[in-house]
Amino acid sequence: MRAFDDATRRNIAEVCAAFARLPDTAEPSALKRAAVVLALTESDDGGDTAFLLTRRASHLRAHRGQWALPGGRCDAGETPVEAALRELDEELALALSADAVLGLLDDYPTRSGYLITPVVVWAADSAAIRPNPDEVASVHRIALATIERDDAFDFTEIPESSRRVIRFHHQMSLIHAPTAALIYQFREVLAGRHTRVTDLEQPVFAWT
């Protein structure tokens, strides 16, 4: 258990600072920039540290009904951190300043043409979260102990790719990359391991 307190905040900030991100490529990327948020908050039963996971609204044009971290495409001139904080406010009415940012994980290139930057933030006061029904069907607090279980993730193969497909087992659902890959890397960072995830594959239904 990781208590939701200043000691945990400092510890996670330290492991994020010690994590060496993959360097940005020198060549301009054809991928569209996007950002997601690993927003750390208090668990439903109190005391433990959790992160926020959403279920996308069923009427959205892309990836409707899927599990996702809050986030979206970067607007013109926006940094990934700025985009992540804006999307968190737009989706969950959770307004945080740049001071809440604890660190960044590796950029993850998706099959659908995005380069996603995961931003880890500390949401000290999340009692007033209000999911935006235009984008979010529901929001869930996932205790960090959940992703630290040995059986939280597994890997499988698909005939369409030589890369391993990662799956996060959550309740009765299987959550796939990119979301599963980003959560998995965060789990590894928490353990002090510099595990790369850019080679982890997405299922075919997420390629478009």
Give the pLDDT score at 98.
Answer: 96
Fill in the DSSP letter of residue 122. Answer: E
Q: Which of 97, 93, 87 is nearest to 33 (CA)?
A: 87
Q: Is the distance from CB of 87 to CB of 70 less than 8 angstroms?
A: yes
Q: Are strands 114-122 and 136-143 parallel, antiparallel or unpaired?
A: unpaired
Q: Tens of pLDDT along the chain (208 residues)? A: 799 999 999 999 999 999 999 987 656 678 999 999 999 999 988 789 999 999 876 554 555 557 899 999 999 999 999 999 999 999 999 999 999 999 999 999 999 999 999 999 999 987 778 998 888 889 999 999 999 999 999 999 999 999 999 999 988 889 999 999 999 999 999 999 999 999 999 999 888 7
Give the pTM.
0.94
Q: Which residue has the tokens 């400092």?
A: 10
Q: Domains in the chain, ordered, with CATH? A: 6-206 (3.90.79.10)
Give the pLDDT score at 44.
Answer: 85
Q: Which of 78, 112, 94, 113 is nearest to 37 (CA)?
A: 94
Q: Which residue has the tokens 């353990």?
A: 191
Residue 108 is encoded by which pair of tokens?
């993850």
Give the pLDDT score at 166.
Answer: 97
